[in-house]
Chain A
Amino acid sequence: MPSDMILLLGVNHKTTPLAVREQLAVGKGYEEPLHALRSIAGCKECYLLSTCNRVEIVVVAQTNAQVEEDIAKLLFGTSVAPEQRQDYLYIYRNNEAVHHLFMVSTSLDSMIVGEAQILGQLKEAYRHAEEAKCTGPVLNRLLHKSFTVAKRVRSETQIGASAVSISYAAVELAKKIFGTLENKNVLLIGAGEMAELAAEHLVGQGVSKVVVANRTLSRAMDLAKRFNGTAVSLDELFSQLEQADIVISSTGAPNIILHKKDVKPIMHTRRNEPIFFIDIAVPRDLDPELNDLSNVYLYDIDDLHNVVEINKSARDKEAVKARRIVDEETLKFQNWMDGLSVVPTITALRKKADDICQAELERTLSRLQHLTTNEQKAIEKMASAISSKLLHDPVSFLKNESCKEQNEVKVEMIRAAFGLVDKD
Chain B
Amino acid sequence: MALIFYGVFFIKQKKNIRTLARLTLLTAGVLQTLYILFRYLQTGYTPITSQHETIVFFAWSVTWAYLSFRWRYTVKNFGAFISLLLFILLLLAAGASHTINPLPPALQSWWLPVHAGISVISYAFMALAFCGGIMYLLQERELKNKRFGYFFTRLPSLDSLDQLNSHCLATGFVLLTLGIITGSIWARQAWGAYWQWDPKETWSLITWFLYAAQIHQRFSAGWRGKRAAVMAVIGFASVLFTLWGVTFLLGGVHSYAQ
Most buried by B among A178, A271, A299: A271
Q: Tell me, in angstroms, the Cα distance from A177 to B160 when the chains sit together.
A: 9
Q: Which of B146, B225, B226, B227 sits near A306, CB closer than 8 Å?
A: B146
Whether A274 and B146, one on each chain, are in contact in the complex, defined by CB atoms closer than 8 angstroms, is: no
Whether A179 and B157, one on each chain, are in contact in the complex, defined by CB atoms closer than 8 angstroms, is: yes
Which residues A237-293 have CB closer than 8 A to chain B? 270-274, 291
Whether A297 and B221, one on each chain, are in contact in the complex, defined by CB atoms closer than 8 angstroms, is: no
The interface bits of chain B over 159-170 (1 if a CB of A lies within 8 angstroms of the residue's CB, else 0) are 110000000000
Q: Tell me, in angstroms, the Cα distance from A294 to B148 when the chains sit together.
A: 19
> From A291, which residue of chain B is reached at the shortest CB distance?
B144
Do A177 and B223 form a contact, CB below 8 Å, given A274-B158, A274-B159?
no
Q: Tell me, in angstroms, the Cα distance from A291 to B141 when the chains sit together.
A: 11
Q: Which of A173, A179, A294, A307 sits near B159, CB closer than 8 Å?
A: A179
Q: Which of B139, B146, B157 sits near A307, CB closer than 8 Å?
A: B146
Whether A303 and B146, one on each chain, are in contact in the complex, defined by CB atoms closer than 8 angstroms, is: yes
Instruction: Kindly list chain B residues whose C-beta atoms are within 8 Å of the C-beta of A389.
Output: none
Query: Closest Cβ of chain A: how far from B235's Cβ, in Å?
Result: 18
Q: Tell me, in angstroms, the Cα distance from A179 to B221 when the chains sit together.
A: 23
The interface bits of chain B over 83-94 (1 if a CB of A lies within 8 angstroms of the residue's CB, else 0) are 000000000000
Is B224 in contact with chain A by the CB < 8 A criterion? yes
Whether A176 and B158, one on each chain, are in contact in the complex, defined by CB atoms closer than 8 angstroms, is: yes
Do A273 and B222 form a contact, CB below 8 Å, given A175-B157, A176-B158, A294-B227?
yes
Is B152 in contact with chain A by the CB < 8 A criterion? yes
Q: Provide the main secondary structure of the chain B interface.
A: loop
Is A295 in contact with chain B by the CB < 8 A criterion? yes
Do A271 and B157 form a contact, CB below 8 Å, given A297-B143, A303-B146?
no
Is B113 in contact with chain A by the CB < 8 A criterion? no
The interface bits of chain A over 293-328 (1 if a CB of B lies within 8 angstroms of the residue's CB, else 0) are 011010100010011000000000000000000000
Is B156 in contact with chain A by the CB < 8 A criterion? yes
Do A176 and B224 form a contact, CB below 8 Å, given A291-B144, A297-B143, A307-B148?
no
Most buried by A among B139, B152, B156, B225: B225
> From A295, which residue of chain B is reached at the shortest CB distance?
B225
The interface bits of chain A over 166-184 (1 if a CB of B lies within 8 angstroms of the residue's CB, else 0) are 0000000101111100000
Instruction: Kindly list chain A residues whose C-beta atoms are within 8 Å of the C-beta of B224.
Output: 271-274, 295
Q: Tell me, in angstroms, the Cα distance from A389 to B221 when the chains sit together.
A: 97
The interface bits of chain B over 195-226 (1 if a CB of A lies within 8 angstroms of the residue's CB, else 0) are 00000000000000000000000000111111
Q: Tell me, in angstroms, the Cα distance from A292 to B221 when the chains sit together.
A: 20
Instruction: Kindly list chain B residues whose C-beta atoms are within 8 Å of the C-beta of A303.
Output: 146
Do A178 and B159 form a contact, CB below 8 Å, given A272-B222, A306-B146?
yes
Instruction: Kindly list chain B residues whose C-beta atoms are within 8 Å of the C-beta of A295.
Output: 224-226
Instruction: Kindly list chain A residues whose C-beta atoms are within 8 Å of the C-beta of B221.
Output: 271
Q: Tell me, in angstroms, the Cα distance from A291 to B146 when the chains sit together.
A: 10
Whether B222 and A177, one on each chain, are in contact in the complex, defined by CB atoms closer than 8 angstroms, is: no
Q: Which of A179, A272, A273 sits near B156, CB closer than 8 Å?
A: A179
Query: Closest Cβ of chain B: how far from A180's Cβ, in Å?
Result: 8
Instruction: Kindly list chain A residues whose C-beta atoms are within 8 Å of the C-beta of B152.
Output: 176
Instruction: Kindly list chain A residues whose C-beta atoms are within 8 Å of the C-beta of B160.
Output: 179
Instruction: Kindly list chain B residues whose C-beta atoms are within 8 Å of the C-beta of A272.
Output: 222-225
Instruction: Kindly list chain A residues whose C-beta atoms are within 8 Å of the C-beta of B157.
Output: 175-179
Instruction: Kindly list chain B residues whose C-beta atoms are within 8 Å of the C-beta of A297.
Output: 143-144
Instruction: Supply 11 A–B pairs (Cβ within 8 Å), ascending by A.
Output: A173-B143, A175-B157, A176-B143, A176-B152, A179-B158, A271-B222, A272-B224, A273-B222, A274-B224, A294-B225, A307-B148
Considering the complex of A and B, which 4 residue pairs feature the smallest CB-CB distances, nearest first? A271-B222, A179-B157, A179-B159, A272-B222
